[in-house]
Homo-oligomer: A and B are copies of this chain.
Amino acid sequence: MTDLRDDRDSWSSENCSVARAMDIVGSRSTVLILREALLGTRRFDDFVRRVGVGEPAMAARLKEMVAAELLERIPYREPGQRTRHEYQLTRKGRELLPVITALRNWGDTWAANDTGPSVIATHHDCGEPIRAVLRCAAGHDITDGDVDIIPGPGLVRRD
In the complex formed, the residue of B with least CB distance to A116 is B153
In the bound complex, CA of A21 to CA of B132 (Å): 15
Q: Are A107 and B147 in contact (CB under 8 A)?
A: no
A residues 63-106 touching B (CB-CB < 8 Å): 92, 94-106
A122: B residues at CB distance < 8 A: 136, 147-150
In the complex formed, the residue of B with least CB distance to A152 is B117
A137-B147 contact in complex given A35-B18, A111-B17, A119-B155, C-beta closer than 8 Å: no
A54, CB-defined interface residue at 8 Å? no
Interface residues of chain A, those whose CB is within 8 Å of chain B, are 4-5, 8, 11-13, 15-28, 31-32, 35-36, 39-41, 46, 50-52, 92, 94-113, 115-138, 140, 142, 144-156
18 additional contacts (CB under 8 A) given A22-B103, A39-B149: A4-B39, A5-B40, A13-B36, A15-B113, A18-B107, A22-B28, A25-B103, A95-B106, A95-B109, A113-B154, A117-B153, A119-B152, A120-B150, A121-B147, A122-B148, A124-B148, A128-B140, A133-B135
